[in-house]
Structure formats: structure tokens, C-alpha cells
Amino acid sequence: MNLKKLQLQKENIIINERVNNIYDVLDEGSYIKELIVEGKVLYDEISDNHHVDICYSAEIESKCDRCLANIKFYVKNSVKFLLDIKNNIDEEISIFIENNVLNLEDIIIEDIILNKPFQNICKEDCKGICPKCYKDLNKEECICEKEEKENKFSVLKDMFKEV
Ligand SMILES: [Zn+2]
Ligand SMILES: [Zn+2]
């Protein structure tokens, strides 16, 4: 089954798919290593509509925004919508459908982008990299900040001298 080209028919479709290594879809440096999608597309004969009801789990590999360490996290969610092809389709959905072929993969990717954390960080209190000496401050301390404080202090001392 190709989630990018899901042929809609007048019958139910059961989805149980695992897609690996979807590159270049999230922000720079992040990509979906594995996407697991389960659910169904139910066809309703009376209204001639399709009900899409799926849940997914995406394993994402990225880099910490502060210290650039490799990180991995999961985004999980469920997606439900109605496809009323004959009448008006939801405008947001209509760009993902053409000639009864649904691009479900891109709908899920959009949902991942909306639901993933705003910041990619390795841990809540990541200290990041020193902008002066480029040391990883989680692993070692540097003296840059200390030096800056001392410099300010010596300026103050000089001012007092002049008074
Ligand atoms: Zn970090
Ligand atoms: Zn430093």
C-alpha cells in the first residue's frame, strides 16, 4: 500500500503501514525515521462518502537547537476527517486529493509538523554551546562568562578610582 497514492474505492480500506526514512519534510536537520500508521477508510454507500480514521506514531531524528546533539523523539496523534468527494471537500484536504487518489502520507506529515514540539532540545535544562569558545557547556564549563563579569567589575573599579 502506498500512503501517498491511496486509491479510494467503494469499499473499506484497512491501513496498517510502516514507512521508513521520509527525508526533507520537517525543519532543517529533522526527519521522520519511521512512521507507523494504523486505521481505516470506511466507505458509506448511502452518502457515497469516505470516513478516514487513523492514528500514527512517528519516530523523529533531529538535533538539539542548543547543543547540536543528536536527539530522537516521537509524535503520536489520531487524524479523522470526512471525504465528501462529490460535494465540497474541506479546502485543507482538497489539495491532498486528485481523481479519487488520496495522499494520506502528506496529510500525516502536515499533522506531525503541527504537533511536534516547537523547540528541539535534548533536555529541559540543556546549557547549550558557549557562543565565544564553542565548548559544549553540558560537558565542561568555560571561563568566558566569568571573564566578562570580571571585566565589568574592573571597569567599575576604574571609575571609582577617578572619583
Ligand atoms: Zn542540548
Ligand atoms: Zn566559553
Quick one: pLDDT at residue 33? 94
Cα 129 to averaged position of ligand 1 atoms, centre (Å): 8
Residue 22, pLDDT score? 85
Closest ligand to C-alpha of residue 145 is 2
Q: What is the pLDDT of residues 33-51, one digit of tens each?
A: 999 999 999 999 998 899 9
Give residue limits of the domains in the chain.
6-115
Cell numbers standing for residue 140: 565542561
User: In Å, what is the CA distance from 21 to each residue of 40, 86, 125, 140?
Assistant: 23, 35, 29, 34
Q: Specify the 3-state DSSP secondary structure of 27.
A: coil
Residue 152 alpha carbon to ligand 1 centre in Å: 29
- Residue 126: nearest ligand to its CA? 1
C-alpha cell at 11: 469499499
Judge whether residue 29 has pLDDT over 70.
yes
pTM of the model: 0.80
Environment of ion ligand 2 (residues, CB < 5 A): 130, 132-133, 142, 144
Whether pLDDT at 88 is above 60 = yes
Which ligand does the CA of 131 lie closest to? Answer: 2
Q: Distance from the CA of 155 to the center of ligand 2, in angstroms?
A: 21
Asked if residue 79 lies in contact with residue 56, where contact means CB atoms within 8 angstroms, the answer is yes
User: Is residue 67 within 8 Å of 58, Cβ to Cβ?
Assistant: no
Question: Per residue in 129-163, pLDDT tens?
Answer: 999 999 999 999 998 977 666 676 676 667 666 65
pLDDT tens digits for range 94-137: 889 888 899 999 999 999 999 998 889 999 999 999 999 999 99
- Give the per-residue pLDDT at 24: 61
> Quick one: how far is CA 97 from the chain centroid?
23
